[in-house]
Amino acid sequence: MDSLLSAEPLEKPRLLAIVVAGFIGFLGGEIVAALLQALGVAVTHFPGGLNALSRASAPPWWANVLGLLGLWVGFGAAIFYAYAYGNLTNLASQWRPRVSDLSYVVLGVSAQLLVDLAYRPFHLAHLDKPEHHLFGSTRGPTFVVLIVMTLILAPIMEEWLFRGVLFRALSEGGAKGGSRGAVVLAVLTSAALFALAHGEPLQFAGLFFLGLILATLVWRTRRLIPSIVTHVSFNGVAIAALVSQRSGH
């Protein structure tokens, strides 16, 4: 397989500018999400207002939809900046799917099962807090909307930003961009940023482990589809467990 080490770009990505843009994009997305949710509170006359919404353990479906959309606006702005002004170029086969990509479903499922097994001896409570916060008691069409957003759209946006932009900027930019050391450091750093961005301390180790796998896939395959399929499958196990729990099985 090709690796990022085999392709020396004519002009290296602007490492610092792209990392700063990613940080600003993330913060900007949080702000846009808050503004959209504030609008939702005003339209729906949510009891207690925005303060009550921010403290809700299981927010209404529309708040989570608006929150995700706002966050992705920030992600999209950071991605646009990286490609338009950060000297980052698309990998030649970045979005090219292959039948063999279906094999990465096994990798994603296996990664989730390994994380579950690693956490089990610690008997940690509230590990399902993110799922409960996101889906709450939502059912019917709105439940399907949230599943599509978290199962398909979230992995696409996260892979594009954390692997397609930040990992590549970290591995290809800088004085030692393209060296094996730079790639290893980029894998570790992008995985840590990915885990931190979720804001769930108990989930950090598992998300960091997943981030290592996903960045390595992009490094080895020079495409985003394998990491997206793996990410979708990883999320799919948790969502399948939630659906099974909802159905009483």
Q: What is the pLDDT of residue 3?
A: 43
- pLDDT confidence of 10, banded at 50, 70, 90? low
Region label for 98, one of left (φ > 0), alpha (ψ between -120 and 50) or beta (otherwise) = beta
* Residue 5 pLDDT greater than 80, yes or no: no
pLDDT of the residue at 172: 95
User: What is the enclosing helix (H) or strand (E) of 81?
Assistant: helix 61-84
Predicted confidence at residue 58, as pLDDT, reads 86
Based on the number of CB atoms within 10 Å of its own CB, is 153 exposed (0-12), middle (13-18) or buried (19 or more)? Answer: middle
CA dist 237 and 100 (Å) reads 20
Residue 203: DSSP 8-state: G
| Of 69, 64, 76, 66, residue with least CA distance to 160 | 76
Would you say residue 137 has pLDDT above 80? no
Q: Where are the domains of the chain?
A: 4-247
Average pLDDT of the chain?
91
Residue type, 208: F
Please report the pLDDT score of residue 241 as a whole number: 85
Mean pLDDT of 109-121: 95
Q: pLDDT tens across 167-219, in order?
A: 999 999 988 888 999 999 999 999 999 999 999 999 999 999 999 999 999 99
Q: What is the dihedral of CA 206, 207, 212, 214, to 10 degrees?
A: 120
pLDDT (average), residues 116-125: 88
Contact partners, residue 217, CB within 8 Å, separation at least 6:
104, 163, 226, 227, 230
